[in-house]
Copies of this chain bind each other. A is one copy, B any other.
Amino acid sequence: GTDAVDIAQLSINTIRTLSMDGVEKADSGHPGTAMALAPVMYALWQNDLKYDPANPLWPGRDRFVLSVGHASMLLYSTIYLTGIRDVVKDKVLERPSLTLDDLKQFRQLNSKTPGHPEYRHTAGVETTTGPLGQGCGNSVGMAMAEKYLAAHYNRPGFDLFDYHTYVFCGDGDMMEGVSSEAASMAGHLGLGNLIWLYDSNQISIEGSTDLAFTENVAERFRAYKWHVVTVDDVNDLAAVSKALEEARAVKDRPSLIVMHTVIGYGAPKKAGTASAHGEPLGDEEIAGAKKAYHWPWTDPFHVPEGVLEHFREGIGARGAKASAEWQALFDAYAREYPKEAAELTAIFERRLPEGWDKDIPKWEADAKGVASRASSGKVINAVAKNLPWMMGGSADLSPSTKTNLTFEGAGSFQPPQWGGTYAGRNVHFGIREHAMGSICNGLALAGLRAYGSGFLIFSDYMKAPIRLSALMELPVIYIFTHDSIGVGEDGPTHQPIEQLAQLRATPGIMTIRPGDANEVSEAWRTLIPQTHKPAVLVLSRQNLPTLDRSKYACASGVAKGAYVLASCEGKPDVILMASGSEVSLVVDAYEKLTAEGIKARVVSFPSFDLFEEQDQAYRDSVLPPDVKGRVAVEQAAAFGWDRYTGIGGAIIAMNSFGASAPLKGLLTKFGFTPEKVYEAARKQAERK
């Protein structure tokens, strides 16, 4: 029989060759990193990772993040070899997540092995990666979630949450600003449960990293207050395991393991070169590499005898035991702490607690009104106190975004080193919007209802993670205030114009811009029950009148994206549409038109996305196709409104950047006055 060293090496080489062969068959992909990191993957998964392949949803499992998502074959090979079971609609099935045939279908249409790992597409993938740096950011959220869950739910003798998050990251991740932000924050938070394994291969697509990246990464991470370990050769399995052990031994700081590697390890000509990164190796290099591995088989996708068994006996047996023990622990916990266990079950199943919405306020009519950021601040507090696993914060703007949770016991999420507790629900993200988005995705991946807030203009800094929330179908809540030229004096650098359009154009996001306080309440009532869609709530800095709902329609229409707020008898001659702060402006114009006998209708339009989800009959009832007179008013780019105004309709919007001045002057300068709206509506009413 093979001895322990042989089977380990054979398993490592199986990961390597499956990865090479997968890329080669696809004629597309990234073989080099998989070849380099296979020993680390083996050492981590086979010997250390707390993971049960038979139960990839086990809440107590360690999380593995492949931030170098292009090396997806490394993960797919490992998912196959360790026998991770498939998951469909949050249920674990008997069948495997990936078969050998799936590996052969790498990067093919409708396959389970897409180019980059996709969460909820392939069981065993903990987060969607590919856009560099994002996996790093996600991992900080995952580690924070573990700390949060442990602080809230662990009890003496019941260490339910005690897992690590491991990340494979590369030079690209290290160069991206989002990982710098996330690392700085992880260092501050003292996340001892977080371990990044940095694949330092000295190679990037344009060539040697000496072309652009010559900093001392280890020193930088020490400056972030991380613990740093180095592995000189990842083929030395004992060294890898020792480094992992050292990293886990440090409990009060995250660890970076700097691993010196050779990209395309074993390939006779391409090893250590950029050409091993992003293209198939070709027959000759594959043959050469297999020779270097002492791999006697010539057929691709060969899995030597004993390898599957070896993983079964290793991670398989170890994981099964650990997850069974955890389940027994949880069952005992459920008997002793039924309320807490029920909460946890709801978290794992993305369910809401009873009565989560019972304190959402109703708002009396009020001409002076309230800024929607302020009404939202009341609602988020009313919701969060009844939804104990809702947590989040702001990129250093909570006094402005009004997202601070102020009820008793909310507290700040801070490490013991800074006199705090991980039970705190207010996260201080620092001035790190990009990391905030990426971290919120990580929190959501653990089942927490995460929210991040900032000024709408700075959604530009975090567009990538917002998009990934949508792609991963995570119900992250983004709260963006200061949503228009209503920002006033801070001027054009701080006044969003195109941001609404870019969020509306992104698939799978629910963007809501409520028009008054009652619409804010309804927006929250609509977005919280979302289990698989991120929401963007767009709020004003300035006061908005609270409409008299005994006169105008009920705000529950928010759930449908757009609704008739007020109308005439019979067919209107003109429809006025607006969102957010412009709703009261079109209401004023409507009143004037009505007083003059012009048949007008007001449509409050908080959400394009929700409106598009309604059936044709509803949409036609709100916007009757035979009414040509249409005016849309929004203090943002006109882009996208033509869908509802049609060619020839009027759009009163921003056609340029804004300006620095008190709001009143800006409204006149840019044409957002009752007179302009009224005039446009009169003209439109004549189009029949």
For A218, the chain B residues whose CB sits under 8 A away are 223
Pair B660/A107 contact, Cβ less than 8 Å? yes
Pair A493/B215 contact, Cβ less than 8 Å? no
Q: Which residue of B lies closest to A173 (CB)?
A: B431
Over the window 444-479 of chain A, the binary record of Cβ atoms lying under 8 Å from chain B Cβ atoms (1 yes, 0 no) is 000000000000011011011001101100000000
Q: Residue A58 at the B interface, CB < 8 A?
A: no
Over the window 208-223 of chain A, the binary record of Cβ atoms lying under 8 Å from chain B Cβ atoms (1 yes, 0 no) is 0011111111111011
> Which residues of chain A in 132-152 are interfacial with respect to chain B, using CB atoms and an 8 Å cutoff?
132
One of A332-340, A344-352, A516-524, A662-670 contacting the partner: A662-670
Complex CA–CA separation, A111 to B662 (angstroms): 11
Pair A181/B180 contact, Cβ less than 8 Å? yes
Nearest Cβ distance between residue A474 and chain B, in whole angstroms? Answer: 14
Chain copies in complex:
2
Most chain B CB within a 10 A radius of its CB, from A129, A211, A213, A655: A211
Pair A211/B660 contact, Cβ less than 8 Å? no
> Which residues of chain A in 395-432 are interfacial with respect to chain B, using CB atoms and an 8 Å cutoff?
396-400, 412, 414, 418, 428-432
- Of the candidates B430, B471, B502, B647, the one whose C-beta lies within 8 Å of that of A175 is B430
Q: Which residue of B lies closest to A419 (CB)?
A: B210
For A176, the chain B residues whose CB sits under 8 A away are 177, 181, 431-433, 461
Complex CA–CA separation, A132 to B458 (angstroms): 10
One of A544-552, A583-591, A636-644 contacting the partner: A636-644
Q: Residue A369 at the B interface, CB < 8 A?
A: no
Nearest Cβ distance between residue A343 and chain B, in whole angstroms? Answer: 28
For A172, the chain B residues whose CB sits under 8 A away are 396, 431
Most chain B CB within a 10 A radius of its CB, from A179, A212, A399, A669: A212
Q: Residue A504 at the B interface, CB < 8 A?
A: yes
- Of the candidates B274, B461, B471, B625, the one whose C-beta lies within 8 Å of that of A464 is B461
Q: Which residue of B lies closest to A639 (CB)?
A: B505
* Total contacting residues, chain A, CB less than 8 A: 112
Complex CA–CA separation, A178 to B460 (angstroms): 12
Complex CA–CA separation, A219 to B215 (angstroms): 12
> Which residues of chain A in 509-538 are interfacial with respect to chain B, using CB atoms and an 8 Å cutoff?
none
- Of the candidates B206, B418, B471, B507, the one whose C-beta lies within 8 Å of that of A428 is B206
Over the window 298-320 of chain A, the binary record of Cβ atoms lying under 8 Å from chain B Cβ atoms (1 yes, 0 no) is 00000000000000000000000
Pair B206/A394 contact, Cβ less than 8 Å? yes
Pair A659/B211 contact, Cβ less than 8 Å? no
For A179, the chain B residues whose CB sits under 8 A away are 177
Q: Which residue of B lies closest to A669 (CB)?
A: B109
Complex CA–CA separation, A637 to B619 (angstroms): 21
- Once A213-B184, A460-B467 are accepted as A-B contacts, the answer to whether A498 and B505 lie under 8 Å apart by CB is yes
Q: Which residue of B lies closest to A278 (CB)?
A: B400
Pair A428/B212 contact, Cβ less than 8 Å? yes
- Once A177-B432, A625-B647 are accepted as A-B contacts, the answer to whether A504 and B639 lie under 8 Å apart by CB is yes
Pair A131/B493 contact, Cβ less than 8 Å? yes
Pair A205/B397 contact, Cβ less than 8 Å? yes
Q: Residue A489 at the B interface, CB < 8 A?
A: yes
Q: Residue A661 at the B interface, CB < 8 A?
A: yes
One of A41-49, A113-121, A242-250, A562-570 contacting the partner: A113-121
Pair A471/B492 contact, Cβ less than 8 Å? yes
- Once A460-B467, A625-B647, A646-B647 are accepted as A-B contacts, the answer to whether A493 and B128 lie under 8 Å apart by CB is yes
Q: Which residue of B lies closest to A628 (CB)?
A: B647
> Which residues of chain A in 623-675 are interfacial with respect to chain B, using CB atoms and an 8 Å cutoff?
625, 637, 639-640, 642-643, 646-647, 654-657, 659-662, 665-666, 669
Q: Residue A57 at the B interface, CB < 8 A?
A: no
Over the window 367-409 of chain A, the binary record of Cβ atoms lying under 8 Å from chain B Cβ atoms (1 yes, 0 no) is 0000000000000000000000000001011111000000000
Q: Residue A490 at the B interface, CB < 8 A?
A: yes
Pair A396/B212 contact, Cβ less than 8 Å? yes
Pair B432/A175 contact, Cβ less than 8 Å? yes
Most chain B CB within a 10 A radius of its CB, from A108, A185, A220, A655: A220
Q: Residue A29 at the B interface, CB < 8 A?
A: yes
For A216, the chain B residues whose CB sits under 8 A away are 223, 225
Complex CA–CA separation, A489 to B25 (angstroms): 12
Pair A490/B116 contact, Cβ less than 8 Å? yes
- Once A26-B489, A431-B132 are accepted as A-B contacts, the answer to whether A214 and B206 lie under 8 Å apart by CB is no
Complex CA–CA separation, A234 to B40 (angstroms): 49
Over the window 96-109 of chain A, the binary record of Cβ atoms lying under 8 Å from chain B Cβ atoms (1 yes, 0 no) is 00000000000111
Q: Residue A556 at the B interface, CB < 8 A?
A: no
For A264, the chain B residues whose CB sits under 8 A away are none
Complex CA–CA separation, A398 to B428 (angstroms): 38
For A222, the chain B residues whose CB sits under 8 A away are 219, 223
Nearest Cβ distance between residue A484 and chain B, in whole angstroms? Answer: 14
- Of the candidates B181, B214, B659, the one whose C-beta lies within 8 Å of that of A114 is B659
Pair B110/A661 contact, Cβ less than 8 Å? yes
Pair B206/A215 contact, Cβ less than 8 Å? no
Nearest Cβ distance between residue A521 and chain B, in whole angstroms? Answer: 26
Pair B493/A498 contact, Cβ less than 8 Å? no
Q: Residue A125 at the B interface, CB < 8 A?
A: no
For A210, the chain B residues whose CB sits under 8 A away are 418
Pair B661/A109 contact, Cβ less than 8 Å? yes
Pair B181/A657 contact, Cβ less than 8 Å? no
Complex CA–CA separation, A643 to B639 (angstroms): 8
For A396, the chain B residues whose CB sits under 8 A away are 172, 175, 204-206, 212
- Once A109-B669, A177-B435, A223-B217 are accepted as A-B contacts, the answer to whether A205 and B430 lie under 8 Å apart by CB is no
Pair B507/A505 contact, Cβ less than 8 Å? no
Over the window 151-192 of chain A, the binary record of Cβ atoms lying under 8 Å from chain B Cβ atoms (1 yes, 0 no) is 000000000000000000001100111111100110110000
Q: Residue A32 at the B interface, CB < 8 A?
A: no
Nearest Cβ distance between residue A636 and chain B, in whole angstroms? Answer: 9
Pair B177/A434 contact, Cβ less than 8 Å? yes
Nearest Cβ distance between residue A133 and chain B, in whole angstroms? Answer: 8
Pair B507/A204 contact, Cβ less than 8 Å? no
Complex CA–CA separation, A245 to B397 (angstroms): 37
Beyond known contacts A129-B493, A215-B225: 5 more, CB 8 A cutoff: A107-B662, A131-B461, A187-B214, A188-B214, A212-B429
6 pairs from A and B in contact (CB 8 Å cutoff): A116-B494, A176-B432, A187-B215, A461-B463, A497-B507, A498-B507
